[in-house]
Chains A and B, each alone.
Chain A
Amino acid sequence: MDQLAVRIAKKFKIDLEDAAILVDAGFTSPGKIRRADADDLPKLSDGAAEKIAARKPKAKV
């Protein structure tokens, strides 16, 4: 099993299938996924997209 996909699934609490889609699209790390624009990410299940969107970095105050 792909280590990168397994870790991304665990990090974002998404299904392994969604994580594998991200890895196949070149989003191989949580940092890269967090920094990407939502429009640039591949099509994922609704729940997965929401969980990733929730982990976007927020500006510090």
Chain B
Amino acid sequence: MPNVFDRNAGFARGQAQVLGFSLATAIDEHSYSAPGSKIFYVDPNNAQAVDLGNLGEDPTVPLATVNAAVTLCRPYMGDTIYVAANEFWQYASRAFRPLPIIETLVIPYTKGGIRIVGCGTNPLSVCWTPAAANQACITNYATDVLIEGFNFYPAAFAGCTGIASYWTGGGLLRYGENLTVRNCYFETTLDYGIACDYTWYCQFYDNYFDGVNIAAIFNISNIGDIDFTTIHDNSFLNCTAAMTLTTSDGCFIYNNRIMGAHGGANNFIDLTGGVGNLVSDNYFSCTIAEYDTTCTAGAGDYWLNNHCINGSPVANPT
């Protein structure tokens, strides 16, 4: 078995340990479709890890922070940041690699097209906490960023967000759309899992949202909506709200599993004020009668083949 952090061994599907072996991973994409690209290694548990002086391209002398790696990345060159696993998770021994990523990372608009990948056996083994309460682990202002394989776990900090992304245009240098978030875990202490404002064409899939306090996927909507978003194959367990996507248009929401309180108002999928969304093949832990309470469709939405515990509703939820 090649060492995941051996720069010269190459990577192949199944070796790199990122969840989602049956799907494309950032490692596949890096190896096969990005000539001239660079890999930057981040491992705060490596005694040799420092930001100043290390180039980050040798896994034996990695960088200490993702922020330093982002600074080194070039936009749209296929550059990928590999973040080593840690055992900061609350139920791990913390005897060997106890340090999580402790960063409040901002990806500036100059870093479009980069990939940030947690390299654990599953996303829970690459814990990431912000540096303080009421912060986001990652705030993204760049286009076409991919984030994969992390456990956003603020531990002792309240009021935090896993990933926030913003598009404003108008010279404000925020272009954080076309964002892909996959194979990530969002932990109970978060207020928001993924929160976006005016970001279009994002893709959120194969994520697990575990009891997120306010909303797992949230449309901030200060500037605009998260239109044309594709959200599929995610699991939501006991989140206060799973998808709060009010006034969003043109979204595809399918194959998600939402387990939670039966009668919560709009606590599953809220598309109030939206237009033309397709919501299909989702599983809800509520009855058909409760579907109108837990979900709200937008105007001109099509809700098809969704499944409740006593059958499939035939009409859009109101």
Contacts and interface: CB of A to CB of B under 8 A. Distances in A.
Interface of A: 3-4, 7, 11, 28-32, 34, 54-55, 57-58, 60
Nearest to A59: B272
B247 A55 contact: yes
A3 to B, nearest CB: 5
Contact of B273 (A11, A29, A55): A55
A29 B223 contact: yes
B227 A31 contact: no
A7 B224 contact: yes
A29 B247 contact: no
B50 to A, nearest CB: 40
B272 A11 contact: no
B8 interface: no
Contacts of A11: 224-225, 227, 249
Judged by DSSP, the binding face of B is: loop
Nearest to A3: B169
B221 interface: yes
A7 to B, nearest CB: 7
Nearest to A61: B265
Interface in B262-295: 265-266, 272-273, 275
A31 B272 contact: no
A54 B198 CA distance: 19
A56 B152 CA distance: 35
A54 B276 CA distance: 14
B222 interface: yes
Contacts of B247: 30, 34, 55, 57
A8 B227 CA distance: 12
Nearest to A54: B299
Interface string B207-246: 0000000000000011111010000000000000000000
